[in-house]
A and B are shown apart, each in its own frame.
Chain A
Amino acid sequence: MAWLGLSNRQSKRLAALALCCVSSVWADEPWLARVQSVEPNRVTLAIENAAESGPHSAVVAVDPQSGPSGIAPGQLIQVWPGQPPGPDGIWNQARLVPFERGPGVTDRTGVRARIMFGAQRGFGGGRGGR
């Protein structure tokens, strides 16, 4: 990295940082899961893309203060499982992500309309759209 004006030590630190970022970006494989039940502090899931050796269902802990936002029984969601569950069998670091689809997707500031996030949200709308 001499062309960037970095020393060997700085280059190694930069490479380690990049490796850390890349490894976090392509970390674990997500689940496609159907929500079975929703409680204030936990969500029970059926895993639709379960590997043969992996779990076919899971109980995931959620923050009781914020709750499982935007999630309802029967819904298909994306789940990033994070660390394996503890002795109680509850996954404590999982992230539940509802798929953004349908007519209820918000577009504050209109950024998605301007970046052409679907025809109905204003591609080519010009001034006064959305």
Chain B
Amino acid sequence: MLLFSCQTSADDIELSGEASVGYDTNPAQSHASEDLAFAHIALGAVKTLNLEQSDLRFALDGWYHDYEADNDSYRLSLSSAWSRPIARDRGLLTFSVSGAIYRDALVPADARNEGALTLRYDHILNARDTVGLSAEVRRLDYRNPSLPWSGRPGSGSGRQNSGGRCKPSGRQGPRRRSAALEQRRNDQRSTIALDATHAWSPTLSTRITLAHARNASTVALESYDRNGIGLLAQFMLNNAWRLESGLGWSRSDYSHTQRRLERRDEELNAALVIRHRRGARELFCSLDWIDSDSTIDVHSFRQQVAQCGMAWSF
């Protein structure tokens, strides 16, 4: 696989980059999958101001996902985080504000603008254990109105072309009546998460996370409560090689459904990442697997993603 990366430093602004290529069996996360190869590039710039008893960090990040054909997506985000150590540095309180734009040619219904407020507290319990508590409120304003019952592309909506791409919502011809029924979607997602990390040895640490999210949407069918648990294990094979393995499970209970059918989605995901550090550069390869089962079949999907890339960081 083709690898490329660059990162430089200009004064006290850190510039970083990473690039990778890979293969995604179901990039739209739809019931009828369409696999696509992709190239991914990400760039970031960070400026940290060291204040008297706290730090202020500004970050500009962006990535571009270049799928086969005209199915690209990209995301730009700007964030500011204020963090302050407390309890003789054992605790770290972080408050951040962020905004992002996301555009998606593969699934235009997912294109959106986001704004988020996040509060996080990390605490070092002892030399082996740390805990963290996060709370976030995120507003998602979707740009393109869509039919609330149409499902994802490929799930039977009939809005997908041969390349797996969802066509933009037109307002001409036979679709005129559907277009009149399309709804604008604005979500407010509140999330709280608790995580605990334990270092078992110099080479092995694990992190377990419990999370709850509530999504309130102007499209009633998109409102849900989600509970999840995740486990991440990190193995430091030696100074150069690192292996990360993760397993997660979540259940989403939707508040409203069509024809009074209950909708409950259960998602299981697993990930394996191997990294090799060579000086300031890092090579990485990852495998991801997602199996999402829904009580409403058209919302079930499977996805596997394999990618390899390179990054350069200080």
Q: Is A42 an interface residue when CB atoms closer than 8 A count as contact? A: no
CB-CB under 8 A for A123 and B228, given A80-B202, A104-B46: yes
How many B residues face the partner with a CB closer than 8 A?
81
Chain A, interface SS category: loop
Could you tell me if B209 and A117 are in contact, using CB atoms closer than 8 angstroms? yes
Q: Is B248 an interface residue when CB atoms closer than 8 A count as contact? A: yes
Instruction: State how many angstroms separate the Cβ of B91 from the closest Cβ of chain A.
Output: 9
Contact of B248 among A29, A115, A118 (CB under 8 A): A115
Q: Is B94 an interface residue when CB atoms closer than 8 A count as contact? A: yes
Chain B, interface SS category: strand
Compute how far the CA of A109 lies from the CA of B38 in the bound complex, rounded to whole angstroms: 13
Q: Is A116 an interface residue when CB atoms closer than 8 A count as contact? A: yes
Q: Is A3 an interface residue when CB atoms closer than 8 A count as contact? A: no
Which residues of B have CB within 8 Å of A31? 127
Instruction: State how many angstroms separate the Cβ of A107 from the closest Cβ of chain B.
Output: 10
CB-CB under 8 A for A118 and B132, given A32-B124, A76-B89, A111-B246: yes
Could you tell me if A126 and B132 are in contact, using CB atoms closer than 8 angstroms? no
Q: Is B33 an interface residue when CB atoms closer than 8 A count as contact? A: no
CB-CB under 8 A for A27 and B201, given A116-B228, A120-B136: yes
CB-CB under 8 A for A124 and B193, given A95-B202, A112-B246, A114-B248: no
* Interface hits, B269-314 → A, CB 8 Å: 269, 271, 273, 275, 279, 282, 284, 286, 288, 290, 307, 309, 311, 313
Which residues of B have CB within 8 Å of A111? 232, 244, 246, 271, 273, 286, 288
| Range class of the A interface residue count | 35 or more
Which residues of A have CB within 8 Å of B104? 127-128
Interface string of B108-137 (1 = CB under 8 A from A): 001010001010101010111010101110
Which residues of B have CB within 8 Å of A118? 120, 132, 134, 193, 195, 209
Which residues of A have CB within 8 Å of B246? 111-112, 114-115
Compute how far the CA of A34 lies from the CA of B89 in the bound complex, rounded to whole angstroms: 10
Q: Is B189 an interface residue when CB atoms closer than 8 A count as contact? A: yes
Q: Is A36 an interface residue when CB atoms closer than 8 A count as contact? A: no
Which residues of A have CB within 8 Å of B193? 116, 118-119, 123
Q: Is B57 an interface residue when CB atoms closer than 8 A count as contact? A: yes
Which residues of B have CB within 8 Å of A130? 63, 75
Could you tell me if B232 and A112 are in contact, using CB atoms closer than 8 angstroms? yes
Most buried by B among A27, A97, A106, A118: A118
Compute how far the CA of A128 lies from the CA of B28 in the bound complex, rounded to whole angstroms: 10
Contact of B90 among A76, A100, A106, A126 (CB under 8 A): A76
Compute how far the CA of A102 lies from the CA of B126 in the bound complex, rounded to whole angstroms: 17
Could you tell me if B244 and A25 are in contact, using CB atoms closer than 8 angstroms? no
Interface string of A18-37 (1 = CB under 8 A from B): 00000011110111101000
Q: Is B146 an interface residue when CB atoms closer than 8 A count as contact? A: no
Which residues of A have CB within 8 Å of B20? 109
| Nearest chain B residue, comparing its CB with the CB of A116 | B230
Q: Is B92 an interface residue when CB atoms closer than 8 A count as contact? A: yes
Compute how far the CA of A53 lies from the CA of B279 in the bound complex, rounded to whole angstroms: 38
* Interface hits, A70-90 → B, CB 8 Å: 74-76, 78-80, 82
In the complex, besides A24-B201, A76-B89, A76-B124, 17 extra interface pairs with C-beta distance below 8 angstroms are: A25-B200, A32-B126, A78-B128, A80-B201, A108-B282, A109-B307, A111-B244, A111-B246, A114-B246, A116-B209, A116-B229, A118-B134, A118-B195, A119-B193, A123-B228, A124-B226, A126-B110
Question: Which A residues are within 8 Å of any B CB, using their own CB?
Answer: 24-27, 29-32, 34, 49, 63, 66, 74-76, 78-80, 82, 95, 97, 99-104, 106, 108-109, 111-112, 114-120, 123-124, 126-128, 130
A-B contact pairs, 14 of them (CB 8 A): A24-B201, A30-B127, A30-B128, A102-B83, A106-B313, A109-B288, A115-B209, A115-B230, A116-B250, A119-B120, A120-B96, A123-B209, A123-B226, A124-B189
Top 4 A-B pairs, shortest CB-CB distance: A115-B246, A116-B230, A119-B134, A101-B122
